[in-house]
């Protein structure tokens, strides 16, 4: 076999006397990938993030929530502890998440249709899907006594 490089193919690799050889760990960094599209990975992660759809309540469920709100209005001066399950819309994409928030009820603003907790949390009544509180048990006991 005869080729154009036969005269140099078996010579040792040339090394510079002026420049030392680069360590292998540094050589690998030369060939590492770079982020050609900045923000692309974040956009992919945002697209992959799942959100829940808002569930529409039935008339019965809506009626039960109204009854519980009426009980909360009666106990409002005592600032009852309440756990509110509500739909929190996502700020970046369609849908959202169902969140359970627990706190003491400060005010039920019927004009703005919001529940206001003592820590300042404001929950829109239209987004509420469930209300839990000890005052509901107390209200049931006083009815049966």
| Res 83 pLDDT > 90 | yes
Higher pLDDT, 93 or 141: 93
Q: Where are the domains of the chain?
A: 59-144
Q: What is the DSSP letter of 92?
A: S
**pLDDT confidence of residue 140:** 54
**Cα separation, 74 vs 135, whole angstroms:** 9
**Cα separation, 104 vs 135, whole angstroms:** 12
**pLDDT confidence of residue 80:** 93
Q: Which residue has the tokens 């490089």?
A: 5
Nearby residues of 128 by Cβ (< 8 Å), 6 or more positions away: 65, 84, 85, 86, 115
Beta strand extents in 63-113 (DSSP E only)? 81-89, 96-109
The whole-angstrom distance between residue 142's C-alpha and the CA centroid of its chain comes to 41
Architecture of the domain defined by 59-144: Roll (2.30)
> Could you give phi then psi for residue 60, rounded to 5 degrees?
-65, -45
**pLDDT confidence of residue 143:** 43
Averaged over 57-61, what is the pLDDT? 93
**pLDDT confidence of residue 144:** 40
| Res 84 pLDDT > 80 | yes
**pLDDT confidence of residue 32:** 67
**pLDDT confidence of residue 132:** 94
Q: Which token pair is 19?
A: 């420049």
């Amino acid at each position: 076999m005869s080729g154009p490089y036969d005269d140099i193919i078996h010579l040792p690799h040339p090394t510079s006397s002026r420049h030392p050889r680069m360590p292998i760990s540094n050589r690998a960094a030369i060939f590492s990938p770079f982020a050609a599209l900045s923000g692309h990975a974040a956009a992919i992660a945002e697209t992959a993030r799942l959100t829940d759809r808002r569930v529409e309540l039935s008339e019965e469920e809506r009626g039960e929530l109204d009854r519980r709100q009426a009980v909360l209005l009666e106990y409002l001066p005592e600032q009852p502890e309440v756990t509110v399950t509500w739909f929190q819309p996502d700020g970046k994409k369609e849908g959202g998440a169902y969140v359970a928030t627990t706190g003491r009820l400060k005010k039920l603003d019927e004009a703005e249709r919001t529940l206001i907790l003592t820590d300042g949390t404001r929950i829109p009544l239209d987004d509420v899907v469930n209300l839990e509180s000890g005052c509901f048990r107390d209200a049931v006991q006083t009815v049966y006594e």
